Amino acid sequence: MLVMAFNGSPRKKWNTATMLEHALDGAASNGADTELVHLADLHYSGCTSCFACKRIGGRSYGTCSVEDDLSPLLERVEESADAIILATPIYFMAETGMMRNLMERLLFPYLTYSDGPNIFPREMQVGLIYTMNMKEEQAGDLFFDTRAALNEEIFHAVFGHTESVMSFETLQFDDYAKYETSIFDAGAKAKRREEVFPVDCERAFAMGARLARKT
């Protein structure tokens, strides 16, 4: 049983990566082998709109024809992974650019422009983790909840069971006094990091454990 995880944050030791590591620990607690990929280490592009993945009878039908650092990982997802977990901070109400590029390359080859089913060869479990500075009650006003629901729907359509964990009001810096951040209460941020973020990490652990049980 293999669970592959993709960190869509440029940081390898902060909120998103920490929650992702807890999710992998949860998967490992149910006997899964785990693999963590930091997208910031890779050189790759998003979809190039070549449509080779849609060309009937073409050698790349159903697979992404772009060749770069992401290519072997996409191949491992298709051939070996029983579950995948994608984690990203939210920038401008959306996943990071590097995560979006992964999503385009991961999802589009398996989506069809016909009435038939999508063409990923089997069921696979998917977990999505989001970390963000906004408050939970702002998610609806800023339409992020709609975007997250759409992401979940697309992943479900391609792969099967998909679930999400969100962490709100995350701590951005160790020392807020060093940055222009007057709209934030640094003390409240630190308190939430101490009291609430561990709970969010527990939720990520539980999700990883569930995904591994479902495989």
**CATH number of the domain residue 191 falls in:** 3.40.50.360
pLDDT of 173 = 87
* HSE value, Cβ hemisphere, 13 Å, CA-based, for 178: 4
Least confident of 75-79, 85-89, 123-127, 182-186: 182-186
Per-residue model confidence as pLDDT tens digits over 113-151: 888 778 999 999 999 999 999 888 888 878 888 899 999
pLDDT of 110 = 95
Q: Which residue range(s) make up the domain with 73?
A: 2-214
Total of domains in the chain: 1
pLDDT above 90: residue 47: yes
Angle, in degrees to the nearest 10, between helices 97-107 and 144-159: 30
Q: What is the mean pLDDT of residues 22-32?
A: 95
Q: What is the sign of the dihedral through the CA atoms of 138, 201, 5 and 213?
A: negative
Q: 27: pLDDT confidence band, cut at 50, 70 and 90?
A: very high
| β-bridge mates for residue 88, sequence order | 130
Q: How many residues does the chain have?
A: 215
Q: What are phi and psi of 191, to 5 degrees?
A: -65, -45
- In 28-132 the beta strands, taken as DSSP E runs, fall at 33-38, 83-91, 94-95, 125-131
More confident residue, 139 or 52: 52
pTM of the model: 0.94
